[in-house]
Structure 1
Amino acid sequence: MIVGGAYIGDQALPIARAMAERGRGGVVHAFEPMGPPFERLLHHLKINGITNVRACRLALWDRSGVSLTVEGPPALASSVPGGVTPGGAGAAASSVTIDEYVESQGLAAIGVIMLDTEGGEEKALVGASKVLACPFPDAPHLVFEVHRSYVDWSVGLENTSVVKFVKSKGYTVFAIRDFHSNYAMEGKPIEVIPVDRVYLEGPPHGFNLLATKEPGLIQRLGLRVVEHVSPKLLLHKDPALHHPLDGL
């Protein structure tokens, strides 16, 4: 598994632990370009005894060897080409493409690519063109964020360049419905929305997309397909648009 924008390990560590506990084998390759969060990532791996994560202080991009400046507050920082920006989230970091990393490490297979890089997701996916071109079952599943601050979906999510790129590689794309906060959803199916049937109205917001080439993934994972609702689950908004299909 590849995680881009691993931050302090808040996603990579639980995933790695679950992989180990379920005897799945494999390694989480966690990429974090910012210095302080990367050091916290290493610390968290150590104190939790996680041994199946390989942490890399690199930024995933569409070209390798590019010096990228990390701009913005740490939890929302994005990478842009250039030198160090005063007041930025961290010193410049070098870039690597997923394709070159996979080849250099001799990785036989990638099961999942998960990206949360505050606008850099498309660059990272373009840098994985060779990997994404693989047919099922060799092609990885994708989970990546889109945010209105970086992605113009004014003519439909299905017409954005990142979704069109992923679909050109043979993927089917869904939006994932979720709360931004930690809200108990145990026992409820995860709901996903076909990418051309997503309700997008509201202030600038972001959510995750799921892309897969596996024909039976929805059934295998017990996901529920819904239409014409928002990916953002919100307690205080219209239940018809912002609550799960069977309510809270």
Structure 2
Amino acid sequence: MPPNDTRGSTGDATGLRLGAIAGTLRACAAVSLSEPEIRGLAGLVRPGDVCFDIGAAYGMYTFPLAALVGESGAVHSFEPLPLPFRILDQGRRASGARHVHTHNAALGPKGGKQRLTLPYRFGLPIHGWAYLRSGLQRPGRPISFSSERVLDTEVHTVDEVVDRWGIGRVRFMKIDVEGFEQAVLAGAARTLERDRPALLLEVEDRHLDKYGTTSAEVADALAGHGYTMSAWRRGRWTRVPAVTTARRNYLFTAADSP
């Protein structure tokens, strides 16, 4: 895992650039051009926090999180696909945010090399539908006029990354990995027990089904570990009793979070 060198201070100019990028993404969220939950991040993290963006894609969450935690905090962003990772890292370089650590890797229940399926449609890669093949029980959803490419990718666990970087506490994790969310949480068992971070998960049966699980099972497992579930509604986080098809992202928080 070759992360970028992030030593040093961001400085005023970097803060302005990062603030402009984050502000643009929040404005897009306000008019539904990006995920609305971005607007709720300010209530979840504060300066100095460490956050993980797992399945970071182009950095939709990375840069708003980086602006919120500031140079005294850190954001670790994980993206296994080559093109989205290059764009993510170019954004990090353009912002000058040295407290953003970009990792060209996936996270899962154990480390090692794994295979990743990248679907194509009309000759174009559909990065948002890529998925890891480890633990796959059913094929991904069919795509008309499609083909696929299989890539090898590095996979680490959250616990391994925490140990390697000597992270004292993880405050927040966003996980959007096309149904592989429970596998990522399995590799974060020690971190979840120690830090009780807030978790923003994509929870959709159409993706989870590939790995033989359901949205209700994901929510129930986290409830069993003392997490409650909320959704972003009308500009605030609101407790909800169950996952529905009305939204795909859910926030899980622990009452005993330090």
TM-score interval w.r.t. the shorter chain?
A: 0.5 to 0.7
Report whether the alignment pairs 1:195 with 2:195: no
For structure 1, the 5+ residue unaligned runs are 179-187, 217-248
Aligned-pair distance for 1:163?
1.6
Report whether the alignment pairs 1:11 with 2:61: yes
Corresponding position of 1:110: 170
Q: Provide the rounded CA distance (Å) in 2 between the counterparts of 1:37 and 1:14.
A: 17
Superposition map of 1:25-44 within 5 A:
25-44=72-91
**Contact preservation (8 Å) 1:31, 1:58:** yes
The residue type equivalent to 1:119 in the other structure is G
Superposition map of 1:80-159 within 5 A:
80-81=133-134, 87-88=147-148, 91-134=151-194, 138-151=195-208
Corresponding position of 2:94: 47
**Contact preservation (8 Å) 1:35, 1:90:** no
The residue type equivalent to 2:66 in the other structure is A
TM-score (norm 1): 0.67
Which deviates more from structure 2 when the two are superposed, residues 73-82 or residues 32-41? 73-82
**Contact preservation (8 Å) 1:111, 1:140:** yes
Assess, with a 3 A threshold, how the Cα gap between structure 1 residues 215 and 131 changes in structure 2: closer, same or farther. Answer: closer
For structure 2, the 5+ residue unaligned runs are 1-50, 120-125, 136-145
> Identity over the aligned pairs, expressed in percent?
26
Assess, with a 3 A threshold, how the Cα gap between structure 1 residues 189 and 150 changes in structure 2: closer, same or farther. Answer: same
Which secondary structure state, in structure 2, belongs to the residue aligned with residue 63 of structure 1? Answer: coil
The residue type equivalent to 1:141 in the other structure is A
The structure with the greater share of residues assigned to helix is 2
Q: Provide the rounded CA distance (Å) in 2 between the counterparts of 1:98 and 1:124.
A: 7
Aligned-pair distance for 1:81?
2.8
Q: Provide the rounded CA distance (Å) in 2 between the counterparts of 1:71 and 1:195.
A: 34
Which secondary structure state, in structure 2, belongs to the residue aligned with residue 125 of structure 1? Answer: helix
What's the C-alpha RMSD, in Å, of the aligned pairs? 2.7
Aligned-pair distance for 1:66?
3.8
The residue type equivalent to 2:90 in the other structure is H
Q: Provide the rounded CA distance (Å) in 2 between the counterparts of 1:104 and 1:209.
A: 29
**Contact preservation (8 Å) 1:141, 1:210:** yes
Which secondary structure state, in structure 2, belongs to the residue aligned with residue 192 of structure 1? Answer: strand
Superposition map of 1:199-238 within 5 A:
200=244, 206-214=247-255
Q: Provide the rounded CA distance (Å) in 2 between the counterparts of 1:33 and 1:16.
A: 20
Assess, with a 3 A threshold, how the Cα gap between structure 1 residues 164 and 143 changes in structure 2: closer, same or farther. Answer: same
Q: Provide the rounded CA distance (Å) in 2 between the counterparts of 1:193 and 1:214.
A: 13
Number of aligned pairs? 188
Assess, with a 3 A threshold, how the Cα gap between structure 1 residues 33 and 206 changes in structure 2: closer, same or farther. Answer: farther
| Deviations, residues 116-169 of structure 1 (Å, cap 9, x unaligned) | 1111111101111111123xxx311111101120236xxx95xx2222222222
| Deviations, residues 206-238 of structure 1 (Å, cap 9, x unaligned) | 51111111369xxxxxxxxxxxxxxxxxxxxxx
TM-score (norm 2): 0.65
Assess, with a 3 A threshold, how the Cα gap between structure 1 residues 107 and 64 changes in structure 2: closer, same or farther. Answer: same
Report whether the alignment pairs 1:74 with 2:127: yes
